[in-house]
Amino acid sequence: MSKEKFSFDVLKEDGLTRVGKINTHRGQVDTPTFMIVGTLGTIKSAFMEDVILAGAQIILSNTYHLMIRPGIERIKRVGGLHKFMNCKLPILTDSGGFQIMSLSKLVKINKKVGATFKSHIDGKKFILSPEKSIQIQKDLNSDIVMVLDECPKLSFDKKQIDQSLELSDNWAERSKIEFGNDPKKALFGIIQGGVYNDLRIKSLDGLKKIDFDGYAIGGLAVGETQKQMFKVLDYIIPLMPKNKPRYLMGVGLPSDILGAVKRGIDMFDCVIPTRSGRTGLAFTWDGALNLRNSKYQNDDTPIDTNMNIRNLNVYSKSYINHLINSNEILASMILTMNNIVFYQQLMKKIREAIKTNNFDAFYDKYINVI
């Protein structure tokens, strides 16, 4: 049953891993959870009804992309993103900070003004301040809103990262003021600091003083090694509030998820399952399969005999290989759905393993397989 007020409860702990429940007025989200990414207000190659059927309880969309197209006014006119894209699930919206740094042209950062940039689509000029980002996310009617931060590219220039951190801290405070008080919605802060533990602590301490409904770890999955990422998590997670959701942004591969859950992360998002589906890669319990490979031309077995959602288990690898090599849209649809289901099954099995104190065994069984 959904609750009118946003809240988070830790229900079970097994070492550092934990099972929890996020309560929103649109429904509950069991954690650890993986948010399927619907950047432009759509899960590419999938119907929303099928995403829900697969077990998804929350999805992610993006401020940057939606403000560029179709434009916020068009979405606001119909009452928000849920109505616009026919989504009954809670929606978390990223603030746009990462996309400004990774996609935009001629980006200029000003502490007072915000980020001035040109669209990667048509070169149109935009200005996105902390206040504007929050206003847009409110117009989208997001359930979980992210502060605007500066997400620098992978760098080991500590001075540069520290300067960026101070900017993000200022923007986080302004985001909180603009967000105001809305018990139905949540505002998450974003911890930055690169691979430097002292900077991560500095960032977290600043965010805790402001006080957010949840805390995300940003600035990872930007080119560092998995070992470097886990080293950051090992240090910062024990210092994060225990009674608030912990969100690792932009991650990831199944092994990333297993390792991060082991360290206490509650929420994930990544384009990998859907993007991989569009490029011929299927995730399975026996590892990822590249169905573009010619070795599948005469393989008449399905990807997974137990995958009965949308009758995915009736399509042979041979047939899917043919669809891929013929550039047929159905290939993307089959593989995207397979991957969405796999990721939701992975999270469900992780939660079950934690509940029964068997996560370590589950981790050992699959960490080098999937």
Domains of the chain (ranges plus CATH)? 7-270 (3.20.20.105), 289-330 (no CATH)
What is the rounded CA–CA span in Å between residue 105 and residue 119? 7
List pLDDT tens digits, range 46-105: 999 999 999 999 999 999 899 999 999 999 999 999 999 999 999 999 998 778 777 666
327: which residues sit within 8 A by CB, 6+ positions away?
none
Active site residue 122: no
Instruction: Quick: pLDDT tens for 263-284.
Output: 999 999 999 999 999 999 999 9
Dist CA 103 CA 139 (whole Å): 23
Question: How far is Cα 142 from Cα 134, in angstroms, rounded to an integer?
Answer: 10
Six-digit token string for 13: 């702990």
Give the rounded percent of residues in the chain with a pLDDT score beyond 90: 85
pTM: 0.96
| Residues recorded for the chain | 370
* Banded pLDDT at 156 (limits 50, 70, 90): confident
What's the sign of the alpha-carbon dihedral 174, 178, 179, 180? positive
> How far apart, in whole angstroms, are the C-alpha atoms of residue 219 and residue 28?
28
Q: Are 57 and 89 a contacting pair, CB within 8 Å?
A: yes
d(CA 321, CA 312): 14
CB-based contact 121:68 (threshold 8 Å): yes
Which one of the listed residues 169, 213, 269, 304 is annotated catalytic?
269
269 included as an active-site residue: yes
**Helix or strand holding residue 11 (H, E):** strand 7-14
Are the beta carbons of 164 and 186 closer than 8 angstroms?
A: no
Q: What are the pLDDT digits (tens) for 177-206?
A: 999 999 999 999 999 999 999 999 999 999
Indicate which residue of 94, 143, 149, 162 is catalytic: 94
Cα 182 to the chain's mean position, in Å? 23
Q: What is the DSSP string of 148-172?
A: ----PPS---HHHHHHHHHHHHHHH
